[in-house]
Amino acid sequence: MSEASSNHNETSLFRINEKYLSENFKEKVKKCLSGEGETSYPFPHFSLENFLSDETVIKKLYSELQQATWSRKENDLYSLNQTTDLSNFDHEKFPILHQFRNFMHDSVKDWLQLSTGVVLNDKVAITGSEYREADLLLPHDDRLEERKFAFIFYLSPDWCEEFGGSLNLYDHIPEENRPSQIAKSLVPKANNFVFFQVQANSWHSVSEVICKDKSRLSLNGWFHADNTPLAPEPKPEAGLPRIRPSLDITLADVYETISQNYTRPDEQKRIKRKFAAQSELVLQNFLSPEKYQAVLEELKSAQFDPIGPTDKRNVGRLDESKLGDNSALKILISLIQSEALTLLLTQWTGLKLYDVKKHRNSEPAQKRIKLDENHGENSHSSGVGNSSSSRDVELVYFLDRYEHGSYSLADDQLAADAANNGFCLDLLLFFSDDEKWPEDAGGFISYAGVNEPNEILRVSPTKNSAAIVFREPEVLHFTKYVNLRAGSRRFYVLNCSFFGISNEDSESEDSLEDEDELSDGLCAEFDDSEIDDELVPEDEEGLVPDEEP
């Protein structure tokens, strides 16, 4: 059989519905692409029902695709199963899929060029995608060199809107080139062919599949064109202002807030040795039970504002301006901004966030230095206390609420920021009613290198735990989408990042003389007459729990 005859027989199994071959349809397509068509909003797109004239072939495609080899794909942006490109499939083992690829490469590409007036090159990327319960694809724009049209051909029979998995199209903020709200949702019905032009505002997502015993199958990819310029990057976000730690907390406040297991000098040495070996650790039961419960109860009734943009995050962020002066939560936030905490972090990690020697050569500390009138009321405060011993350390902090639908992504701007920020120490405090967060519900914080596929570290949102992570330049972290398995559960995380730290700052594990000096430093910082003896147990043995995997 000749090659031409073979190609004819292969492509004859698939035929485009006649109604999409008319001159009238071509005019509609061109009008839509010009921005004047019925489906030009929120960006030009087409959803073509009954795209193939013979629907019986859909079952054959569906059945053969289910037999393919699937790979699990998980990152901050998506969770799904995917095949390799159809060009890699054995045409004898997968004859129907092989024919479909040829159909897309020849017939559909030619039809698309005639309908749109756009000249395409020979590159057509096609893969299979499967979304099961809790799988999704978060907002993105598909921008990549030479991509001209994105397409999805749906295969799952009897798919309903109630199953989730809809293709969401987003309106956008023109001056920022970022997505805003969902403008349109398309249900992934079998034999529907959706395509749209990849452009600056082609923001879209796949909503979470919420049906337990159904899988959303599709064949999807891109048509490409030469000399296709990349759409401009979204407008960079303004970063949160950094503040300097300030001397505004007494040692009594520290001992009343943080578990005594972590403030005793001998325990601090144990923690430091562990951190020196791993550059990360998790301290369980970090806050005293009374303080933890008081903060948690306040969090439940506190005001949280929705924070986006949706291509970066979807969380609730604490409005500190609504906290009362005697709020346990406000006191904790003050502790986070204090020199007392930088001293503790120095003792726990060996990283010199706090310069004890410099402090001892300075004037004696006051028993308590009050907060400035506005200091500590807003995480964007630029106020600086009378700090003289926290070196050049600066911090950024915020407190977010996570529940079903919440997430925080890594992106190009975050990657650039990570490279420019240098070394960083993250302190993450978690609050929740639940003793254990479900492992399959998302919500974990993942650390990974820029452009590196493998996860370096995963931190789970464990009740009353503090995760301390030394982050190198070009290491990012994101919080995985909280999926339906979380139910009505929620957690809160106080995220603090300390900048201005050098990897040369860490002390030797065997430097006992310096360790003793640091241990004495916390007591030297304040007048011991303020502290009850019972707050500093001499004989109680503290425990340093195992770190998260």
pLDDT tens-digit profile of 87-146?
999 999 999 999 999 999 999 999 999 999 999 999 999 999 999 999 999 999 998 889
Tokens of residue 312, six digits: 């970066």
Q: Is the same domain home to 191 and 259?
A: no
Confirm whether 316 is domain-assigned.
yes
Q: What is the CATH number of the domain that holds 261?
A: 2.60.120.620
Q: How confident is the model at residue 246 (pLDDT cuts 50, 70, 90)?
A: confident
Answer whether residue 231 is part of any domain. Answer: no
Instruction: Give me the number of domains the chain comprises.
Output: 2
> Which domain covers residue 270, as residue numbers?
251-534
Going from the C-alpha of 240 to that of each of 204, 377, 379, the distances in angstroms are 27, 15, 8
Q: What is the pLDDT of residues 331-364, one digit of tens each?
A: 999 999 999 999 899 999 999 887 655 554 554 4
Confidence class for position 162, pLDDT limits 50, 70, 90? very high
Same-domain check for residues 354 and 304: yes
On whether both 55 and 105 belong to a single domain, the answer is yes
User: Phi and psi (nearest 5°) for 189?
Assistant: -80, 145
Q: Which residue has the higher pLDDT, 13 or 239?
A: 13
* Residues 533-549, mean pLDDT to the nearest whole number: 32
Two tokens, residue 521: 């430093």
Whether 283 and 390 share a structural domain: yes
Is there a domain that residue 241 lies in?
no
The DSSP string of 397-466 is EEEEEE-TT-EE---HHHHHHHHHH-EEEEEEEEE-S-SS--GGG---EEEEETT--SEEEEE---TT-E
- Judge if pTM exceeds 0.95: no
> Count of H helices and E strands in the chain?
13, 22
Q: Tens of pLDDT along 320-331?
A: 999 998 899 999
The answer to whether residues 219 and 14 touch, using CB atoms and an 8 Å cutoff, is no
Residue 361: the pLDDT is 52
Q: Are residues 146 and 280 in the same domain?
A: no
**Do both 63 and 171 map to the same domain?**
yes
Specify whether the CB–CB gap between 205 and 179 falls below 8 A.
no
